[in-house]
Amino acid sequence: METTRKKFNLRRFAIATLVLYIVFLIGPIVGLDVPAVYASIKSNPLQLVQFLIIGISNGAIIAIIALGYTMVYGIIELINFAHGDVYMIGVFTSLTVLSLTGTLESKDPAKIVFGLILALIVAIVFCAVLNATIERLAYRRLRNAPRLAPLISAIGMSFIIENIGLMWAAQAWLVPSFGTTGGASQKSFPDMLGILFTSLGWDVNLLASTGIALRLTIKDVMVIVLAVVLMVGLYLFVQRTRLGKAMRATAQNRDAAKMLGIDIDWVITATFLIGGGLAGAAGLMAGLYNNTAWWFMGFRAGLQSFTAAVLGGIGNIAGGMLGGFLIGLLASFSDGYLNARWTNALVFATLVLILLFRPTGLLGEQTGQKA
């Protein structure tokens, strides 16, 4: 017993070494130059704090998306591959709402605030309904099928939604083109918070008056505050409310939940509604933060959020939040000190390493059920 265990660990160690070897072999070519990174940190330590701020803001968005993956996995053990694309639809929904209400051209602070709140609500509702519809159409009938079937169905849904995004982006009356043509190009998502602050005569950089050479913008604050509000709200919902408890019960033992009178179909629909709503909110947040809208953006966000969910422990809500922030920081430091092209590979390498060494994730410890 002891020897087989050791052997197994040795094999995992070998694979991990291989992964790290590849990272460091290809690393320098794409900019992973350790002495240079060290020198750069030493010469400008404030920059580290700057990347920290960016990492936390991006991490907040990733965490909100990761919650959708982790909640759905927790309850039906399915990786909803279409989730990242639901988030992309959230970006386009909010951009369309801002465009149709005339908020994009407005300089009136009250109107901008109203438009943003409306966009948030519409994006949440639209993505919630979209996500629940996906479950109804593509997953429900496959609930008792072999695991591979709903997985393939999820990948199919992902392609379908990406194509909807492509068509949506091509409609100039819905998505202002700002000179770009066709649906495949990246669309600009105007910096409404910056416009709002400028129109009020305030500096976008909240640290401008302090003289510190750092940028902590209203965008960072908005993203972090909104994410924290959503997370606390979700946590209280799942811990305290009747439906939240029914969701946890269903996740832990579906048959027992049925036996106690919990309507499983409704609980699963509610889970998809909440996950989709969070993705919609993340869509608006990301649009305002990164100022782009692109039909393929759900892929990278999905990859990062999925990794975050696995890192924290898939199925574990607190884990999804933690994983989101960690992946955000990793991506930010990689973008800043290495090379933005290298970031996705690093995120993937993280995924491989977690799956090798701690498949249950950081917080995913299982409370074993005794006989």
Partner 1 sequence: MLELKDVHTYYGNIHALKGISLTVGDGEIVTLIGSNGAGKSTTLRTIQGLNKPKSGSVVFNGTELHKLPAHEISALGVAQSPEGRMIFPRMTVMENLEMGAYVRKDLTSLKDDLDHVFTLFPRLKERIGQKGGTLSGGEQQMLAMGRALMAKPKILLLDEPSMGLAPLLVELIFEIIKKLNEEGTTILLVEQNALMALSIADRGYVLQTGEVVLADQADKLMKNDMVQKTYLGVE
What residues line the site for partner 1 (CB under 8 A)? 242, 245-246, 248-249, 252-253, 255-264, 367-371
Closer residue to partner 1, CB minimum distance, 248 or 358: 248
Query: Least distance in Å: CB of 264 to partner 1?
Result: 7
Query: Least distance in Å: CB of 366 to partner 1?
Result: 8
Query: Least distance in Å: CB of 246 to partner 1?
Result: 7
The 10 Å CB-count burial string (b at 16+, else e) for 69-79 is bbbbbbbbebb
Residues 6+ apart with CB under 8 A from 51: 332, 333, 335, 336, 337
Query: Least distance in Å: CB of 310 to partner 1?
Result: 19
Give which of 279, 278, 258, 282 is closest to 268, Cα–Cα. 258
CA distances to 83, 151, 277, 279, 301 from 297, in Å: 12, 21, 18, 13, 6
Query: Least distance in Å: CB of 257 to partner 1?
Result: 8
Between CA 102 and CA 96 the distance in angstroms is 10
Query: Least distance in Å: CB of 23 to partner 1?
Result: 36
Closer residue to partner 1, CB minimum distance, 2 or 255: 255
Closer residue to partner 1, CB minimum distance, 186 or 253: 253
Between CA 29 and CA 335 the distance in angstroms is 15
Between CA 17 and CA 370 the distance in angstroms is 36
Helices (H) and strands (E) in the chain, counts: 14, 2
Closer residue to partner 1, CB minimum distance, 270 or 285: 270
Between CA 200 and CA 143 the distance in angstroms is 53
Residues 6+ apart with CB under 8 A from 270: 243, 247
Query: Least distance in Å: CB of 185 to partner 1?
Result: 47
Closer residue to partner 1, CB minimum distance, 283 or 364: 364
Instruction: Specify the DSSP class assigned to residue 138.
Output: I
Closer residue to partner 1, CB minimum distance, 1 or 371: 371
DSSP 3-state of 107? coil
Give which of 239, 258, 202 is closest to 317, Cα–Cα. 239
Closer residue to partner 1, CB minimum distance, 217 or 271: 271
Closer residue to partner 1, CB minimum distance, 322 or 338: 322
Query: Least distance in Å: CB of 251 to partner 1?
Result: 8
Query: Least distance in Å: CB of 362 to partner 1?
Result: 16
Amino acid at 145: A
Residues 6+ apart with CB under 8 A from 272: 72, 80, 128, 131, 132, 134, 135
Amino acid at 349: A
Closer residue to partner 1, CB minimum distance, 120 or 268: 268
